[in-house]
Amino acid sequence: MTDSTPNSETQDVPTQVFQQFIENLRAAQVSDELVSRLHKVLLEDHLLNEVALRAAVLGEEFR
Amino acid sequence: MIRIDSIHIQEFRGIRDLTLEFGGKNFAICGPNGTGKSGVVDALEFVLTGNISRLSGEGTGELSLKEHGPHVDSRSNPEKARVTVKITIPSLKKGVTLERRLSAPTKMLASPASVEIEQVLKYVQSHPEIVLCRRELIRYVLATPGKRADEVQALLHLDQIEHVRVALQKIANTCELPIALA
């Protein structure tokens, strides 16, 4: 998986924090599926609301 | 992010024609009241964002960019009112010339133009904190510590992080299912 905004000098602080968060999850060996969903919500779709995050963490069936 | 090498201001606010060479370094502008210090700051904000927040913020009444942006002698000819800056984008190792006219404030001319340069300029435009006027600085200084933290967070878009933190904490508090580990 690659980030859509690779240049750190063009990223704002939240994006950098969320990227680091994703990297830390990967390093902690959290499941790839969960990391992918969170990556999509936080860094691709920029959906920062509880509903979207709940679905990302727990899966679509918990929407 | 970007370094400003020079700025050329024409018929803008109280300035008829002024060129300043910054050389990409930090700079300070000082002078007596009414000599155009704020006009330079306004010009910088205008060319980078297309807006002059001092004309559109709280307590500005009927002021408008179109009518009050040009020099008073050029209000009938806003085409003459323009700001040009030469910047360096260190991450791209490129110099770029930007120009914006008060007759078309939403249109910024960039030379050379590329997708990478456009990405950097969009980032700059989306960050109003690039130009803080005295009124805004005083507001932060006088704010209570709690309020000041909130305002700085909002300024830097850090409130997004807090929203996510709170949401994840609520999910953790209400969730009895363990997060699957690989």
Do B76 and B114 belong together in one domain?
Answer: yes
A42 at B interface, C-beta within 8 A: yes
Q: B25: Cβ–Cβ under 8 A, 6 or more apart, which residues?
A: B3
Task: Based on the fold, state whether residues B83 and B150 are members of the same structural domain.
Answer: no
Q: How confident is the model at residue B182 (pLDDT cuts 50, 70, 90)?
A: very low
User: Which residues constitute the domain of residue B49?
Assistant: 3-127
SS3 B20: strand
Task: Please indicate, yes or no, if residue B181 is contained in any of the structural domains.
Answer: no
Last residue of a domain, one of B127, B145, B162: B127
Min Cα–Cα distance to chain A from B71, Å: 34
Using the predicted structure, report yes or no on whether residue B180 has a pLDDT greater than 70. no
Ramachandran angles phi, psi of B10, nearest 5°: -130, 125
CA separation for the pair A6, A24 (Å, rounded)? 17
> Where residue B126 falls among pLDDT bands split at 50, 70, 90?
confident
Instruction: Band the pLDDT of B78: cuts 50, 70, 90.
Output: confident
pLDDT of residue B96: 95
Q: Which residues contact B146 (CB under 8 A, 6 or more apart)?
A: none
Q: Based on the domain organization, do B164 and B90 belong to the same domain?
A: no
Residue B67 lies in a domain: yes
ipTM for the predicted complex: 0.80
The structure's pTM equals 0.62
Locate the chain B residue with the closest alpha carbon to A63: B171
Does residue B42 lie in a domain region?
yes
Look at the block and give the residue holding tokens 């910047």.
B87
Within this chain, do residues B146 and B122 fall inside the same structural domain, yes or no? no
Which whole number is the average pLDDT over B18-45? 88
Strand partners, B89: B94
Residue B182 covered by a domain: no
The partner residue sitting opposite A7, judged by closest CB among B91, B160, B161, is: B91
The verdict on B162 and B123 lying in the same domain is: no
CA distance B131 to chain A (A): 16
- So what's the pLDDT on residue B141? 80
Packing angle of the helix pair B145-155, B134-142 (nearest 10 deg): 140
How far is residue B32 from each of residues A3, B7, B38, measured CA to CA in Å? 50, 21, 11
Q: With CB atoms and an 8 Å threshold, state whether B163 touches A48.
A: yes
Q: Which of the four pLDDT bands, split at 50, 70 and 90, describes residue B70?
A: confident
Q: Is B170 domain-assigned?
A: yes
B138 contacts chain A (CB < 8 A): no
- Asked whether residue B94 is domain-assigned, the answer is yes
- Complete DSSP assignment for B75-94: TT-GGG-EEEEEEEETTTTE
pLDDT digits (tens, 9 = 90+) for A6-48: 455 556 788 889 999 999 999 999 999 999 999 999 998 888 8
Query: Do B140 and B158 reside in the same domain of the chain?
Result: yes
* Domain count within chain B: 2
Is position B147 within any domain?
yes
pLDDT at residue A61 in the model: 60
Which of B68, B63, B20, B65 shows the shortest CA–CA distance to B40? B20
B96 within a domain of the structure (yes/no): yes
Identify which has the larger pLDDT, B126 or B38: B38
